[in-house]
Structure 1
Amino acid sequence: MTEQHASGELTDTVARAVLDTAGVAFLRPGLAQLLRASGPLSRVRAGSPVVGRSPHSSGVRVRRLGGTGGWHIEVHVVLHRGHRAVDVTRSVRAAVTEALRGAADAPLRVSVTVTGLV
């Protein structure tokens, strides 16, 4: 399995785990999703995923850590109002760690950033 393929699979696994966490409204949309949702661009292949990525994984970045061979997982989420950010971010970290327990072949470093509330 190539590193790019492994990174893509990890990204999709992380996205599913994050979206299943209580208090998470959605992953932060990426530039492609924002542009696709606006005006004339939304008519061109609306709903089609970004090439090589899940349409819901733009708020997740997965990259190799130098030296250790581990993975750095960055998650950017928007939360539902009424949920404490600290509780949700802890739950997201735990969900990601659990989801990748067997999938990741090296140590993990997970960071969670709350980018908004709805």
Structure 2
Amino acid sequence: MPVQSSDDIDPRLNAVLAATVGPGSLDPDGTIELTVIVDGTIISGSVVSEEAWSRRQKAQISASGEYGAGVAEDAQEARNNPRLEDQVRFIHFLEPVVVSGGNPIRLNATRVDLRNVAAWSIGRLQYGEM
């Protein structure tokens, strides 16, 4: 699936995310339950700020020893690079449920490019009730 330009991001979704989990939100630990569809795959769960997501990701890879430290340093360098600042926008899920082909699976900290979101809804998918 080709990546769309940042102009193709749904402005309503962008506004919801900016207000609840964006860099300027009032609560740095804010969350929102969200369900998105990306290339026919449903992704549903709690969305958090990039900072909260990065903390979770760092905890997940800390068992990887030296590699884990390098990832954290690379992420910090990317955040400090003004050329990369506005290139890509992401939704940061913590432990989302992903449904592809009818089988729900749970993932760890997952990052989704906003430009690839075809549909979205506020709320978590209730897959047990289907």
Q: TM-score, normalised to structure 1's length? A: 0.31
